[in-house]
Structure 1
Amino acid sequence: MHSTTTRRGALRGLAGLSLLAVGACARQAVPETVPQMQLIGGVPVDQIVPGYGLIEDDGYRLPPVPPEYLQGVNRRMNLRYTGTEAPGTIEVDPHAKFLYWVQNDGNAWRFPIAVGRQGKSMSYDTVIRRKEHWPSWTPTANMLRTEPEIYGGFAGGVPGGLANPLGARALYLYQGGRDTYFRIHGTNDMASIGNSGSAGCIRLFNHDIIFLYPMVPRDTLVTVRSYDESVRIEGQALANRGRELDPTYVPPEEIYAAAARSGPPQISGQ
């Protein structure tokens, strides 16, 4: 986890210098020590972005999101909705790296997202049929078949918790009664938000998926913007936001060790 350490000190100048008239030397003030800035999860308290602070959730402790990941549009916002979807719809823009939860008042909650390799192939409407707190994760049969060197070590599944790649919440997307294996979920890879990642579906900061999760009922429609729609609505610059991240690989033993340290899984579906 990325952390920033800030140390402040103060030094009195020579304003307090006094000269004694006879047989005296200059006397310099003794420097005073200012207490070190308080840190929470490696983030200075005065740099915590509202809405992205410490969260205690189902027995897990999520530290604040470092402010360098929340610059500009890379944080949730409630703003005027300029898209075309009906209220109560989730609209994913995989090009501008945004997810919109459309409201009844003409506004929408906009969340920055990371778009994984699977998420790039989302091009059709789906419906949320399943919701999970601190979900477990098991590679699909296709993952195990096509990339056994990457996913074979996880064939037994990873329990829910801080080390799980699905993060704090997951929304499971279906077409009719068929699981598409697309997910909207949290992530521990905070640097990926606003970019295209090497794996995964549609990822949000854990803080954002926790915020969104209770508002979204099952059977919510999820739509996907085309590139042309993204350019028209967001503009050329935002429609090409982010960069392609290099693939990362974490050995199974590291994931399982971290999962064991994070405590027992706290899983409950809704």
Structure 2
Amino acid sequence: MFTRRSFIALGAMTGLVACARPEAVSVTRVVAAPARPVYPSLPDFYGEITGEPYPIPAVPEGSLAPEYWRQEVVNPWPDHAPGTIVVDPDAAILHFVESRENATRYGVGVGAAGFAWEGTARLQFTRKWPRWKVPASMIERQPELEPYSVANGGMDPGPGNPLGARALYLFQNGVDTLYRIHGDAAPQELGKAVSSGCIRMLNQDAIHLYDRSVHGASVIVLPSMKPPGLSALY
């Protein structure tokens, strides 16, 4: 018979069940991989280049963010003479001044923290498919590069040479800064610190810049405002 006493007892038991710790249930968390960004189709000028002494493959579709595409823009440096090159390492952008009104903008990778150079230099000369002659200061850090030293004649041009298809050589007060603007960047390197003190471009862009570069023009590398030790530029 269901009495008032049994109703109270049943209520107490129900309360105990409600406050009890539930049985542990094994739950497997599934962490989704971050979605890869989807980029628009690349302009035709990032396709394969033929007619060069060495192959220049097309930039792979989906590998290059639009902010690093070569493009004509309003000149942000109207007081500089045509032919001037201005590099902003924090933005990973190089501007070539076409006129007071217009400039060509390129995405770049820049020198790793601790080896970057800044200042105003002179574009002393340019080279197609240059030899890579490793300076002594770099060989001190990486002795395995000794076979490519100046004394040993450097590295032959072509695939595997880190200067790529073109190089622009920067001098200051008649002295080589050992700083170069050159090709052979991979798309994923643009916007990052990837080399020891040089400006690295896609081969397609390095050729484009080489063809319009002006002997003796000023090359201005702005100082980085990033805190020391940062390897990424964005």
Which of residues 44, 47, 55 is equivalent to 1:53? Answer: 47
Residue 70 of structure 2 corresponds to residue 76 of structure 1? yes
Q: How many angstroms apart in 2 are the aligned matches of 1:184 and 1:192?
A: 14
Question: Which residue in the other structure is 2:124 paired with?
Answer: 129
Q: How many angstroms apart in 2 are the aligned matches of 1:191 and 1:56?
A: 23
The CA deviation at 1:198 is 4.4
Question: Which residue in the other structure is 2:108 paired with?
Answer: 113
Question: Number of matched residues?
Answer: 187
Are the aligned partners of 2:113 and 2:193 in contact in 1 as well (CA < 8 Å)? no
The CA deviation at 1:206 is 0.2
- Paired residue type of 2:125: R
Q: How does 1:18-167 map to 2 (within 5 A)?
A: 47=41, 49-83=43-77, 85-88=79-82, 89-117=84-112, 121-148=116-143, 150-155=144-149, 156=152, 157-167=154-164
Question: Which residue in the other structure is 1:207 paired with?
Answer: 204
Residue 175 of structure 2 corresponds to residue 178 of structure 1? yes
Q: How many angstroms apart in 1 are the aligned matches of 2:81 and 2:104?
A: 11
Are the aligned partners of 1:78 and 1:107 in contact in 2 as well (CA < 8 Å)? yes
CA 1:98/1:48 → structure 2, altered by over 3 Å: closer, same or farther?
closer
The CA deviation at 1:107 is 1.2
CA 1:193/1:176 → structure 2, altered by over 3 Å: closer, same or farther?
same
CA 1:198/1:181 → structure 2, altered by over 3 Å: closer, same or farther?
closer
Which of residues 215, 218, 222 is equivalent to 1:218? Answer: 215
Question: Which residue in the other structure is 1:29 paired with?
Answer: none
Q: Deviations over 1:203-227 (max 9, x none)?
A: 1100001011111121010012234
TM-score, normalised with respect to structure 2: 0.71
CA 1:187/1:154 → structure 2, altered by over 3 Å: closer, same or farther?
same
Q: Secondary structure at the match of 1:126?
A: strand
Q: Secondary structure at the match of 2:155?
A: coil
Are the aligned partners of 2:79 and 2:100 in contact in 1 as well (CA < 8 Å)? no
The CA deviation at 1:69 is 2.9
Q: How many angstroms apart in 2 are the aligned matches of 1:219 and 1:119?
A: 28
CA 1:67/1:104 → structure 2, altered by over 3 Å: closer, same or farther?
same
- Paired residue type of 1:205: L
Q: How many angstroms apart in 1 are the aligned matches of 2:77 and 2:157?
A: 35
Are the aligned partners of 1:119 and 1:201 in contact in 2 as well (CA < 8 Å)? no
Q: How many angstroms apart in 2 are the aligned matches of 1:174 and 1:119?
A: 20
Q: What is the percent sequence identity of the aligned residues?
A: 33
The CA deviation at 1:118 is 7.7
TM-score, normalised with respect to structure 1: 0.63
Are the aligned partners of 2:86 and 2:222 in contact in 1 as well (CA < 8 Å)? yes
Question: Which residue in the other structure is 2:34 paired with?
Answer: none
Where does structure 1 lack aligned partners over 5 or more consecutive residues? 1-45, 231-241, 245-270
Question: Which residue in the other structure is 1:263 paired with?
Answer: none
Q: Which stretch has the larger CA shift, 96-105 or 163-172?
A: 96-105
The CA deviation at 1:59 is 2.5
The CA deviation at 1:201 is 0.5
